[in-house]
Each structure stands twice: as C-alpha cells, then as structure tokens.
Structure 1
Amino acid sequence: MLALALQTLKSRAAGFAGTFLALLLGAAVLSACGILLESGIRAGSPPERYAAADVLVTGRQDLELSLKDVDGSATKQSQPLPERVPLRASLAERIGKVPGVRAVTEDDGATVRLATAAGRPVPGRHGSAPQAHNWSGLGLGDFRLSQGHAPRTAREAVLDVELAGRAGVRPGDTVRLMTASEPRAYTVTGLVALDDGRAPRQSVLFLTGPGLRQLGSTAYAFGVQAAPGTSPGRLADALRSALGDDGLTVHTGDGRGRAEFLDVAVSGSDLTVLAGAVGGNVLLIAVFVLYATSALSVRHRRREIALLRAIGTTPGQLRRMLAAEAAVTGLVAGLLGCPLGLLLVHWLRDRFAGHGIVPPDFALALSPLPFLAAVLVTVLTALVAVLIAAMRAGRIRPTEALGEAAVEPAGLSRGRRVTGGVLLALSAGVFVTGLVQHADFLTLVGLANSLVLLLVIAGAVLGPLLARTAVRLLAPLLERTGVTGHLAAANSRANVGRLAGAITPLILAVSFASTVVFTQTTALRESSEQIHAGLLADHVLTAPAGVSPDLAAKARDLGQVAAATGLVKSKVVAAGELMGAQEAVSLSAQGVDPRALTATLDLRTREGDLSSLSRDTVAISTTAASWLGLGVGDTARLHLGDGTPFRGRVIAVYGRGLGFADITLDHDLLLAHTTQKADTSVLVRAAPRAHGLSRALTDLAAAYPGTTVRSGLTADDQLAEQRANAWVNYLVVGVIIAYTAITVVNSLAMTTAARRREFALLRLSGTARRQVAGMMRKESAVVVLAGVGTGTLLSVFPLLLVALALGGAPWPAVPALGYTVIAGALAALATVGVMVPTRLLLRIRPVEAIGVRE
C-alpha cells in the first residue's frame, strides 16, 4: 500500500498541493506555538544581582488555591502573583541557624523614578523603572565598583554605568529620586558595572541602608553563602526542610534569575496560556480545513476509487492506501513546516514584545520537543481528516461503484440530516438560553463561544442543503443576465455537492473571523464608552513611570479642588466558578480614596452603595460578581497582588468594570501591596466656580519630573492590556484566513480544473471563450454570496450574545472597514481560485482538452 500511495502522490501531485500547503502552514504554526509554550514554561534570565549567591530565599511568587471540581473532588491550581512578595527581616536569623550556612545577606529594594538635576526624567532600561538596592547586597551579584566610591550617607547613590550614561551623569553629579514623595537630591559617588562589561538587564542603583529605608524599601530576598564543603543543592534542601514555609521559595541555579526578574516569570506564565490558546484554535481550524480539502480530493477521485472497488479492492485496503498517502504528505509537510515555524516564532516574539505581552529581551527556549510534537500532530491530523472523508467511499459496494462515480450523489444522507438537525436544535437552545440569562456575563460569553462552534459544524454537515438553498435564491437572478447566467444557474443546480465544497470553507472563515474580530471591537468600544462616561474628574495627572502618592494629597489641598484621589492599579487572585467547577482567576483591581470615589468616578452602581468603601470592604464589577458568585453583603475572599489574603464585605456591584477594573479597594490598602508603591494617575474634580485650577495643577506637577496634566483618561491609559489581547485574537483570525485561503483557492482551483472536458464541449458546441469565462464569473459570484452571506448570518447570533454580555444591549460593534476586509479578502480569494484556472484551461484547444484523461 505504501508503494501504491507513493505512486499516486507522484501522479497526482497537483491534486495534493492544497492539502500539503494546509499541513505545511499547520506544522509551522504548531511548532511556533510549541516553542512559545516551552519558552513560557522555562522562562528565565541569567541572574545578575544574585549571581554570586549559592542559594536564594524569596517569597513564593505564585499562589496555590484549593478548589473543587465539577464532581466535588478537590483540586489545586496556581496563579502567578504580579507584585513582589515581601519578606520579614527576622527571617535572616532563622536562615543563619541552618547547618551549612556561612553568611546571609538581606536584599532590600524599592522602585524609584530617576530624574537629572535639571528635572529630565530618565527611565530604566527597556522602559521599566530603576530598582534601588542596599549597598550591602552588592556582593550577592556580579556588580563591581568601576568608578568612584561607595555611598556613605543617606543622600549618596551609586548608579550602574548604562543608567548613568543615559542620564548624562558621573561621580560628583546630582540626581533626583522619587518614590512616594517629592523628588530628593542625591549625589552620585560612584558607578558599578557587571564583571563581563555588558549592560544589566534591569537598571539598578545602590544606596546606604538608611537612605534606602527613607524611600520605603522592602526586604525581597536573602542571599545565602554555603559553608566550605556544602554544595548549593544540599544547602537548598536543608533550607527547605528547616524553613518549612509554603510562602517561601528556595532557588538555586537558573531559579535565581527567575526570582530576580519577576517580569520574565509573569510573562512566561501568560505566554504559556496564550500559546496553548492559539495552538488549540489552529488545531481546530486545521481539522475543518483538512477535512474539506481531503473530502474534495476523494470526491474528485470517485472514478479511480470506483475502479479499484470493481477489481476487488477491499474497503480496508482502500482506507490503508488513503491513510498512507495522508501520512506521507503529513510527514513531508511537517518536516518542511518546522523550519518555517522557527522563523515564525521569532517574528511572533518581536510582535508580543511590541504589545507588552513579553519583555523586549525575552529569550526563546529551543529544543527538539516542539518540532517532534508538531510533526506528530500534523501526521495525525492528516490521517484523521482523510479517513473521515473516505468513510463513504469505502462503504460503496463494487457493483455500485462505477454508477456512484458517474453521477454526483443527490441530496444529503439520512445521517447528515439527523446530525445537522440535532446541531441546529442545540444551537437554537444555546441561543435562547443566552437571551434568557442575559444578566450573567460568564454564561453569555461561554454560550457565545459554544454557539459559533455548533453553527460552524452544522454548516459543514448541512453544506449541500445550504448550497441548494442558495441556488434556489440566486438562480432566478442569474437567469436574467443572459446566456452565461443561464449556464451558471444550470451548472449550480446540477452540481450542488461541488458548490457546497466551495461554500463551506468560506462559511467557516467568515463566521469564525467575524466572531473573533468583532468580539474584540465590541469589548474595546464598550470599554472606551465606560471610560468616557464614568470619569467625573475634570483633570488627570499622570506620568509614564507612575505618580508619587503624595501628589493626590497636595492636589486635594488646593482651594479650587473639590475632590482628588490617587488611582493605583494591580491585580487580585480569587477562586472563581464556571460551569460548576472552581478555577483560579486573576482579576484587575484599582485602589481609590473612598472620600473621593463617587466624586471622581461613576462606576454605574447596580446594587449597594459605593460610598461605604473602606479598608474592610470591597466593590466588584458585574463580571467579577459572575465569576465569584458574590452579591452585596457577601464576603469576598481575595488575595492581593503580593499574595496577602483579604477578606472584605461586598458593599456594591457596579457595571463599568471593563473600562476601569473588576475589583475596587481602598487606595492605601492596595497601594501598600504593590511593588512600585506609586499611583497610575491622580483624578481631580474641580470645585464649583473654580478658576485657574489647570494652571495650579501644572505648577504642582512641575515639582514631579515627567508628570503631566490632562483633561481626561485616554483609552491607551486604561486599555493597554485589552488591546494586547485583541491583537492576539487578530493573530488567530489571520491564521484562520490564511488556512481558509488555501482551502478556498485549492478547492475552487481543483474543481475548475476538473471541468476541462465540460469547457471543451461548450466551446465545440459554439460557446465563445468569453461566454465560458462569464459563466464562471457568475458561478464564483454564487459561491461568494452564499459563503460570505451564510458565514455573516451565522456570526450574528454569537455576536448578539457577546454584545449582551459586555454592554447589556444586543448591538455588537462591527466596523465597516473590518467587515469589508474580511469579506473582501475572502471574496477575492474565491474569485481568483475560479478565474485563474479558467483562463488557463481556455488557452487549451478544445480538441486537445476533450481527449485528456481524468
């Protein structure tokens, strides 16, 4: 069978081109997703400040929650913590008592904002804020003093060489540092550099212990030196046994780098989820696409299969031959697709970095495993698709085979009718359920996702019925356009199965692409509207690296100000519930001064009273209420960004969580549990008949380098994460359209190429070349109108549920340009797939074309 399969592939290379291209693209995308997945799991960077520590003890940067599954059984899930977990200084004494410990060094840190003496802000490397550390911890890493001397007083600092170069300072110059208060002047006494001379990954500066404590430092790690004769591995085991604290983590080797660079660890966790989601969508689309191309290939080989059955080939032998062809095609495509995946993953990494999903210097982990998995999945996908497509051909009895091959099967089989009917009934049930439960956000989103999948599968199963319906509607119009229209209508009626094979991929692409893209546009529209409608503040003070928290208090003291509050952003972790099972969820959180909350923000209260917010209470969005199953008066059990447990009574449920945050807490409470200890912005509400407020705020902001005064919040301030998520979904849509392009062009090109005898007969009977071309243009118009129209119709229902979930009204945001791009691109591809082969076939003399074998 393998030899026969190879011979068939050689003789029908053109017929397998579409399948091969689909498999090639699938292997490339799957291998790229595999590399991203492995890179997310193994995310890390070589240690710098902790490179000289044998063992490092830090707080545990992920939170493990005990949850219940659907059946009530206990399970555990973890979520990464976005804020650094602080440690108690007394921990050093416990560590020092562990056998094998020679020395313990505390590493204290604070996030600072640096400015020159002239007031020019100087961001850290890669745009992040510089980190200040205690000079006594210098020996934990690879930094060495290269110029000047160590800091000796609380107002002296040592900068790394790269940061000092960008700031334009050298020993003896003055810089200004900010944390929670006004900028303070520090004298630069020296510069440090890494031993190998490279620039540090994160900009750092060092101060004395008292100087660092004035900036509000926190103990983030303890570096441990092993006694002579004690290996780092043995010491780490001893520390884990002695400390016995689930809130602590002991690191050695590369783990020290993951502990040092929290952004790499957090983005690695996000990348793991993202790669799995993209890979899953690609695999789902690949199955649909490959089934369509395989079914078309088998349909075009009906006569060949019929002859094989007539000469005694058993169904098993037939399936083995087709499976061997698919396996060879999948193997070759997989092997060639993996190098393309390597190029693709580097392009994706750069795009992810540009959208802030991963750091700019995020390193990819390369191993043979993703490539082996991609090849295996590609081969298995090809086998599954071709075997499903060949089931009907293998069941034909030899005596019926030639008759089956000579005439295209009429109508749908009973099995497909029943299956399609069941799918439509399920789709109707899901849609009605969504309309009835429109107040439940999670239910609606889950139902919308299920609905589009059910409708697409139903469309594929009932493809011939949809094609027949389209012909009934469009044929009368075609017949009014002359001879070519009459021929196109007659061909469409007589070859419904062929038409369905061309329409189905278009339905798949339009429905999936429209649902994914317009879900994002609807979410962004709703978020933007919530921001504009919910902001009551007249002025907003903001800075790229954050705003000092005392700025809000100073703004509040201005006579023209009625209310002012700092707005701090973070995340919280909680146990949510979906479809009867609990899972760990990460929710956006904001901290606002309760005294100014209702004066500066209108979060659209649905239940309760936002004015009751305090350090012991919490307000939640309708989304969070749905996730957590909470209402007014219930107790919310949350974990703040640094893992600190929080228990608070829910005092309000509000509707503008998309524009602001899912959880609203007391400002000072949330600020204390963030790493940067800085506000994202300051919201200011003017007093009645206030004059000169803008000028007064500008003068106030001038004392804080980099701070600007705006008239409102912008979408870029609030929606950066949503825009990044939208871009990822647009990437998925791009893959869907690319896959569909292969299927549409391949199916239409193969179908058109198989009609060379028909074209020859038409021309020999007196039909002109332009008339044949006109007939094909009108047939392609039927395909485009039916495919794009049906796909658009199928996407309407899930989008209605999405709009209800996001905004409470059944009006999704469908930009005309976006829809035109999706529909226009697919329509153009379909037309090219028909007309290019038609033009080529019409160049062949009719006498020569009619004698060509099938």
Structure 2
Amino acid sequence: MRGLDRLTWELGLASVRQRWSSFVGAFVALAVGTLITAASIHVLAATTSTPSPGPQRFAAAQSVVVPVDGLGTPLPAPAGLPRATVDRAQRVGPAVVDRSFAVQSPTGVGIEAVGHGWSSSPLASYKLLSGHRPVNDHQIVVAADDTDSTPLGEKIRVVTPLGTAWYTVVGAAGRKSFEDAVFFTDAEAARLSPAVNAVAVQAPASAVRARVSSESAAVLAGDLRRLADPAAVGGIGRARSVVQMTTGLSVLVVVFVLIATFAFVVEQRARELALLSLVGASPARIRRMVRAETVVVGAAAALLGCLLGIPASLLLRSWMVANRLAPEWFHVGFHPGALVIAFLVGIAAAVLGSAAASWRASRAQPLDALRETMASPRVMSPVRWILGGLILAVAATIALVFAVISPSSAANPGTYFEVPILCAAGLAIFSPVLVRPVARVVTWPLMRFGALALVLRQSTLNSGRRVAAIVTPVVLAVGMFGGMIGMQNAGRDAAARQRTAAVQADFVATPNFGSTFNLPAVSALRHTGGIRSVEVTDEVVTLATKGGIVLDTVDARGVDLSALGDVVTPHVRQGSLDALPANAIVVGHDLAASADLRIGQPLVAWAGNGDRVTVDVAAVVDSVLGGGAAYVPNDLPGSMTPGTAFLRTLPGKSATPQLKELRDAGVRIEPVSTYVAQASQAEKQDSHLANVVILGIVVAYALLALVNTLVTSVSARRREIGVLSLTGATHRQIVCIVVSEAVLAVAVGTLVSVLSAGAVLGLQHLTLSRIIDHPPLALPWTSLCQIVTLCTATAALAATVAAWRTLARFETTPISE
C-alpha cells in the first residue's frame, strides 16, 4: 500500500503482536461483518445465476401457446385463450389443450388441488402407479406418492368449479412437486372449466407463431416453456427481493459498525499515540503505523469471514427453502466475486474508520491529547457532519418524492424501506453530537439519588466518545427495527382503514377454497333474495392509447359500475361516480399521474383473452393501498371469475336464511371488519419471515457490535477502575457503576432511536394523509420494548463480565502506569 514503508510495516506488526488483546474485538467484528456480507452477496448472486429446473408442467411439449397481457407477459390460469387462437394452434400439428382449474376433496386427496383433462398428463410425464385412466365422466385419477395411500375403487366427494359431485377413483399417478393433480376425462374437464388455459403443440415454435396472433397469445419454446408453469415453480422472485433488501441493509450496517469500531479502537489509544508524538514520531508516521495495524488485522479477519461466509450462505439458503422463501431447486454455488466484494468492503470500512480517528489523533498536540483522555468532549469532524447531513437529506428527499409522485408507496414496505434505514443511519452518524443533550435528559433524575448516582451521571456526560460508541449500534438496531416495523404496521393499518371506509356493506363473501367462486356460488350470490351482492374480480388489465401505444399493465378490480359510489365508495379526486356509462373506467391517482390520464380520455383496454374494448376515463380516485390501480366493468372481455363479493342486506329484509343458503353453496361469509382484520393479519404473517431475514441479521450484528464495544471500553478503563478500588469502592459497587453506565448508554441510544422511528412515521403519516383522512400514527411500542430489553440485557451482561474480568486482572497485576 502506498505510503507504508518497511519500517511502518514492522512497527505495525510488532504493535499487533504485543497488544493483540486490544484488537480482538475489532477482529471479531470485522470477521463476522465480512461473514454476513459474503453470505448475503453469495445468496444474492445465486438468485440471478442459479439455473432454473427447466419446464415442468409442459416439459414434453415442443411449443406451448399461452394467453398474455398487453406487454407480452404470460398470464396464469384461469386466464384463457380465445377460441380462434385455440383452433389455429390445433391446425399447426398434433396438439393437446390444457385446462387447469381448482378442485377440492374433503377426504384429503387433492386438497387445494388442480384439475386437468387426462390427455394433458403426458405433458408433465405423469405415469400411472396403479389402476387405469378415466374412461367415463364419473371417474378420476389422483396424484399420490404411493399406491397404498390411494383409495382405488372408492367414490369420493369432489368440489369443482360447477359445485360438488361424486367421482370414482380409478387410478393413481405419481405426484409432482409443483402441483397436486386430479385428472378427469377431457370431456368432463371441458364441462367443468370451458376456458382453455394453454395449448401444447408438437411443432416448431416458428410454425406455430406463423398461425397464432402475437397480440392475444405467446408461443413458448425451449426453456421459455417454464413461464407457463404454476407460479410456485421457478418462483425465485420473492427470494431475490428479500435477499436484495437483506444485502443492502446488512452491508450498510456492517460498514457503519466497522467504521465506528475501528475508530473507537484508535481513539482508545489516544494516550499511547500522544506519547509517540512526544518522543518524536511525526503525525504521518503515526497515521501510517495505525493504517498498517488495521490492514494486518483487517486482512486476517476479512479472510476468515469470507471463508466462513460460504457455509453461512448454505445455511441461509436452507432456511429460506424450508420456510418457502425460495424454491426447492434454488442452489447456492461458489461465487468468487462475492468473496472479493465482501473482503474489500470489510477492509475499506476498517481502514476508513481507523484513518479518520488516526488523522484526528495525530494532529492533536501531545499535551492536549493526554488531557483529552481524562475528560473527552466529543467533537464532530467535518466529514461526519457532511456524511450525516447528506444521508438525512437523501432520506427526506425520498420521502418527499413519494409524497408528491406516489403517496400509496408509503404503505408498501418494498418501496419505502429506504426511509427508515437512512434515518437510523443518519442519526447514528450524528450520535456524538446528540449524546450529551440526550444524556442530560436521561440522567437528570439521578441527581436525587446520592453520590454514586452523581458519579454515574457525570461519567456518562464526560465520556462522550465512549457513550457515542455504545449508542451507535443501539441506534442501528433499535432505530432500524422500530422504523421498519412501525412503517409496516402503519401501512397495513392505513390499508385496512381505507378498505373499511371504501365498502358500504354488511358482509364480505369469499370462496371456501381456491381464489375464485365456482359457478353455483356465483349463481347463488346473484339470485339470493333480500341481499344485494356486488362481486369483485381481480383483473390484470392492459391499457393503451387509441393510437396503440401501451401505457401499462395494471392490477384492476372488475365491478358492477352501478355499485361504485354506492356499495364500493372510493374517495373521488376528479370526475364523478354518478351514472357511469357501460364503457367507463375509474383509475387511481398514481396511475393517472404516471400515465398522464385526464377525465374523458379514451383508452383501449383488454384482459385475458386479448379482445380490446374502448373505455373512457370517468373519474380519478385515491390510489388503493395494497393493490388495485383501477376499477373496470366486470363484463370486460376476458374477465376472470369473481373472487370476492360485498353483501348488503336490503331494507326490511332478514339476511339469516339467505346467508345460510350462500354458505351451503360453498361461500364463506364474514363481517367487513372481520374480513379486513384477517386480511391484515395474513399480510403480517406473510411479512414476518422476510423480517426474520432482513432485520434479524442486522439486529444480531448490532448486538455483537454492542458487546464488542462494551468489552473494549471497559478493558480500556483499567486505570479508572483501579483508582475506584483504591479509594474504597467495593467490587460490587464498581460493577454496579459500570453496568449502570452501559444501561444508561442504551437508554440514550433508545431515545435517539425513538426520534428516528418517530421521524419515519411522521414522514409516512404526512404522505398517507394525501390518500386517507387521519392515517394511523403510533410507534410500535411492543416491538420497541422487546428489542430495547434485548439490547439492555446484552449490554448489562457484557458490562458485568468485562468489569469482573478487569477487576480480576487488577488484583493479579497492580497498576504501575
């Protein structure tokens, strides 16, 4: 390295050998930090480099024709192909139509299963284990792991899209990992689900494309056939998004902690560096020596962390697969680039932290440096002021951009997570300047509790550097954890409040199984007297201009337009929901702003089958938190089957018999408040596992840094502890003071963390106020108390062990300095 001559290296190596114990904490922090970075980057690289298992559902097909949206993205079932497209595809060569529909058997066979026609079974290489194929419309073949678990010859009750029917099990086919299949005759499958979801053609893709319109369907061949597989197969998108957030957050925390750790290690040596300056060492020589020490320690620690990062990445992969955050075929290989990046990140953070502290220490006058070790006012360096201010400015800018351009993003943790991360990081950098005023507030009550309490208070106030070093990991742990959890809770509560306010109904109906109602349930909803039912369909709708320019493919909600403003009541920003024409479309504010839509503007819209209709923008409403960018007519060509219905009891009618009739038809009915609460709880459970990865690693590393800092700081106070012992303080009193100081430092960090989380929730509150009235604003006190308790217990335990260890060393080796 430039500027490090042979003498400097010799001094650095000698210093490390002689005072290796003072580098243990920094070594462990860097090794573990590099381990986390290497494992995270390793898994992230694997999400982009792991080869997919190839086509599964259509592995034996040469070409597959599937429906697509306006951007050419294949649509999953129940999206269907136009009849003309199916006919043209079948004329190219030998073809098999595939129908995929939800079925359910109460006996346990095929629970939440997928129904197919038998002719499509060879496409996925299904083989009969026993029995025979279905030969009449009352027979089925079920997928099973072995023949012993198959009730051959028995009649079982199966719930289908047309209702409940009895079928005889005549065969068992080997189960596949991507679905639980139930096979009917082709005629029965066509009766149960008329829509054709895909056509497998034994012909070259070029020949099929020449006959099939690319506007309504895509022809997949080769490895692209996997795009027609069920969503669970090849679903690595969620794993990638989770690991991306984990990697970014982990690297940020690791860098901050390592900079603070190595800076603190150098600052603890201020007296030693001052003595070197007194005996003639130049500032440049001191800086080079410290840099050499950092490189020696950092290289060894980073190398160890990289080596341990490889098995750690395998453990992370196993955990993600076991908890369904990644598919079973997800594989983590060896990626040297990830190790190089982790190594360089660790070394760079260590050198940066030690360089900043050594530059400040080397420029101080020797006598001033010796004096400063006794009572150290913390002074922020210009670099720290600039960096902290820049990070907080970026956080505020991101929040402002969301507030102006896309307020609904504030309810989405996947897009708003940068704000709590940057707020906590910025306040962690500013911790030295925040320590004294916050510490005065926290320690003010101690003025009433005697001499020891006053000693404790003054020690906390005078030891700005030491307290700031303890506060930094606390702010990173508690601030990020509280900000992220609070932001997620507020977003969910705001979405739930909006859903409740936008529905003027008594009950919500949903299917007993599957994602959509079967035909008997739809018929019962539409013909049950005494109740008004408004069915809602989740659509994927492509919007384009009259000139054919595709604007976007959005998640929309198909409803009876006459119900808008009556049963479904979103807040209107522009236009009106009164007397909507049959070709109207109501768009959310975010979509209107991004596509520059205006009232009365004609658009071309199409859903699953590719048929296009002209719609006019009738109104702009608040963006729907949690999904749904537009409301479209429920009879839009290619619309799906409804999956939700809002029920309102008509005046003067009793809903009890009608609700029983609906339940008998396979409909689950709940009050609106219960439905919204359960949806929010499901979202919370879904995000819990991601939080374990994203926040668990960060909190664990921050706690390690807290322990490391406390052990290092207590060990460096050997003279002070010795003086207290010589003046008559008992070991118990000394340990009590040291532990109390650590707990007070955690309290200071907690208060700074509350400021960070409060700022995040305040910014989010202002943003969500643009969408809903009085959005929730509350700190996650339960989560904060849990993480603060963990930090406090960790700090107290580490301080106790370090204090007793220092007292034991003092007894065996009296202070001679």
TM class, shorter-length: 0.7 to 0.9
Q: What is the TM-score of this pair, normalised by structure 1?
A: 0.80
Q: Which amino acid aligns with 1:666?
A: P
Structure 1 position 434, deviation (Å): 8.0
Q: Which amino acid aligns with 1:323?
A: V
- Choose from 791, 795, 798 the match for 2:757: 795
Alpha-carbon distance between aligned partners in 1 of 2:172 and 2:265, rounded to the nearest angstrom:
67
Q: Which segment drifts farther, 479-488 or 32-41?
A: 32-41
Alpha-carbon distance between aligned partners in 1 of 2:107 and 2:626, rounded to the nearest angstrom:
29
Partners of 2:508 and 2:675 within 8 A in 1: no
Percent of paired sites with the same residue: 22
Encode CA deviations 1:785-835: one digit per residue, 9 max, x unaligned: 321111211221221121233344364233432221132222333333323
Partners of 2:116 and 2:181 within 8 A in 1: yes
Alpha-carbon distance between aligned partners in 2 of 1:494 and 1:306, rounded to the nearest angstrom:
20
Alpha-carbon distance between aligned partners in 2 of 1:697 and 1:778, rounded to the nearest angstrom:
62
Partners of 1:82 and 1:642 within 8 A in 2: no
Partner of 1:250: 220
Partners of 1:110 and 1:215 within 8 A in 2: no
- Choose from 462, 465, 475 the match for 1:497: 465
Structure 1 position 320, deviation (Å): 4.2
Partner of 1:680: 643
Partners of 2:107 and 2:156 within 8 A in 1: no
SS of equivalent residue, structure 2 residue 251: helix
Q: Answer yes or no: is 1:268 the counterpart of 2:240.
A: no
Q: Answer yes or no: is 1:58 the counterpart of 2:65.
A: yes
- Choose from 137, 142, 150 the match for 2:125: 142
Q: Which amino acid aligns with 1:385?
A: A
Partner of 2:675: 714
Q: 1:184 to 1:386 in 2, by over 3 A?
A: same
Partner of 1:107: 97
Partner of 2:3: none
SS of equivalent residue, structure 2 residue 757: helix
Structure 1 position 759, deviation (Å): 0.6
Q: 1:659 to 1:89 in 2, by over 3 A?
A: closer
Alpha-carbon distance between aligned partners in 1 of 2:551 and 2:799, rounded to the nearest angstrom:
50
Partner of 1:665: 632
Partner of 1:68: none
CA-atom RMSD, angstroms?
A: 4.3
Structure 1 position 109, deviation (Å): 0.8
Q: Answer yes or no: is 1:325 the counterpart of 2:325.
A: no
- Choose from 438, 457, 476 the match for 1:508: 476
- Choose from 228, 240, 243 the match for 1:259: 228
Partners of 2:411 and 2:494 within 8 A in 1: no
| 1:225-374 pair list within 5 angstroms | 225=202, 245=214, 248-252=218-222, 255-257=224-226, 259-265=228-234, 267-302=235-270, 310-311=280-281, 313=285, 315-316=287-288, 318-351=290-323, 353=324, 362-369=328-335, 372-374=336-338
Q: 1:3 to 1:211 in 2, by over 3 A?
A: farther
Q: Answer yes or no: is 1:569 the counterpart of 2:541.
A: no
Q: Answer yes or no: is 1:690 the counterpart of 2:658.
A: no
Encode CA deviations 1:394-433: one digit per residue, 9 max, x unaligned: 5469796755753346542562475278549847975995
Partners of 2:530 and 2:653 within 8 A in 1: yes
Partners of 1:132 and 1:204 within 8 A in 2: yes
Partners of 2:559 and 2:634 within 8 A in 1: yes
Alpha-carbon distance between aligned partners in 2 of 1:585 and 1:728, rounded to the nearest angstrom:
29
Partner of 1:753: 715
Structure 1 position 142, deviation (Å): 1.8
Partner of 1:389: 353
Alpha-carbon distance between aligned partners in 2 of 1:470 and 1:143, rounded to the nearest angstrom:
68
Q: Which amino acid aligns with 1:711?
A: P
Q: 1:142 to 1:436 in 2, by over 3 A?
A: closer
Alpha-carbon distance between aligned partners in 2 of 1:667 and 1:342, rounded to the nearest angstrom:
47
Partner of 2:547: none
Partners of 1:518 and 1:814 within 8 A in 2: yes
Alpha-carbon distance between aligned partners in 1 of 2:435 and 2:15, rounded to the nearest angstrom:
31
Encode CA deviations 1:466-495: one digit per residue, 9 max, x unaligned: 123234445654444322223223333432
Encode CA deviations 1:700-727: one digit per residue, 9 max, x unaligned: 43244xx333334524664445652465
SS of equivalent residue, structure 2 residue 619: strand
Structure 1 position 206, deviation (Å): 3.4
Encode CA deviations 1:76-116: one digit per residue, 9 max, x unaligned: xxx77555764456667877898xxxx5322321303244x
Encode CA deviations 1:243-283: one digit per residue, 9 max, x unaligned: 7958524333x654553333324x32233223212211211
Q: 1:632 to 1:395 in 2, by over 3 A?
A: same
Structure 1 position 682, deviation (Å): 3.0
Alpha-carbon distance between aligned partners in 2 of 1:163 and 1:601, rounded to the nearest angstrom:
46
Q: Which segment drifts farther, 497-506 or 805-814?
A: 805-814
Q: 1:794 to 1:717 in 2, by over 3 A?
A: closer
Q: 1:419 to 1:80 in 2, by over 3 A?
A: farther
Q: 1:444 to 1:186 in 2, by over 3 A?
A: closer
Alpha-carbon distance between aligned partners in 2 of 1:245 and 1:91, rounded to the nearest angstrom:
10
Gaps of 5+ in 1: 66-78, 227-234, 576-582
Q: Which amino acid aligns with 1:760?
A: G
Q: Which amino acid aligns with 2:188?
A: G
Alpha-carbon distance between aligned partners in 1 of 2:103 and 2:595, rounded to the nearest angstrom:
37
Alpha-carbon distance between aligned partners in 2 of 1:537 and 1:627, rounded to the nearest angstrom:
32
Structure 1 position 237, deviation (Å): 7.4
Partners of 2:477 and 2:702 within 8 A in 1: yes
Q: Answer yes or no: is 1:517 the counterpart of 2:485.
A: yes
Encode CA deviations 1:582-614: one digit per residue, 9 max, x unaligned: x99875433223344544433344443345556
Partners of 1:763 and 1:846 within 8 A in 2: no
| 1:369-518 pair list within 5 angstroms | 369=335, 372-395=336-359, 403=367, 406=370, 407-408=372-373, 410-412=377-379, 415-416=382-383, 419=386, 422-423=389-390, 426=393, 430=397, 440-442=407-409, 452=420, 455-474=423-442, 477-518=445-486
Q: Which segment drifts farther, 708-717 or 502-511?
A: 708-717
SS of equivalent residue, structure 2 residue 306: helix
| 1:588-603 pair list within 5 angstroms | 588-603=555-570
Partners of 1:32 and 1:342 within 8 A in 2: no
SS of equivalent residue, structure 1 residue 389: helix
Structure 1 position 627, deviation (Å): 5.3
SS of equivalent residue, structure 1 residue 828: helix
Alpha-carbon distance between aligned partners in 2 of 1:83 and 1:284, rounded to the nearest angstrom:
41
Encode CA deviations 1:330-370: one digit per residue, 9 max, x unaligned: 1101211321231232223323x2xxx55xx633223112x
Q: 1:320 to 1:139 in 2, by over 3 A?
A: same
Q: Which amino acid aligns with 1:833?
A: A
Q: Which segment drifts farther, 414-423 or 829-838?
A: 414-423
Count of matched residue positions in the alignment of Structure 1 and Structure 2: 789
Q: Which amino acid aligns with 2:556?
A: A
Q: Answer yes or no: is 1:38 the counterpart of 2:38.
A: no
Partners of 2:273 and 2:286 within 8 A in 1: no
Partners of 1:6 and 1:325 within 8 A in 2: no
Q: 1:703 to 1:13 in 2, by over 3 A?
A: same
SS of equivalent residue, structure 2 residue 96: strand
Q: 1:362 to 1:599 in 2, by over 3 A?
A: farther
Alpha-carbon distance between aligned partners in 1 of 2:151 and 2:412, rounded to the nearest angstrom:
54
- Choose from 126, 130, 152 the match for 1:170: 152
Partners of 1:51 and 1:142 within 8 A in 2: yes
- Choose from 842, 846, 854 the match for 2:807: 842
Encode CA deviations 1:663-690: one digit per residue, 9 max, x unaligned: 33223438x344xx4x323332111121
| 1:152-163 pair list within 5 angstroms | 152-153=135-136, 155-162=137-144
Q: 1:584 to 1:89 in 2, by over 3 A?
A: closer
Q: 1:244 to 1:638 in 2, by over 3 A?
A: closer
Partner of 2:23: 15
Structure 1 position 535, deviation (Å): 3.6
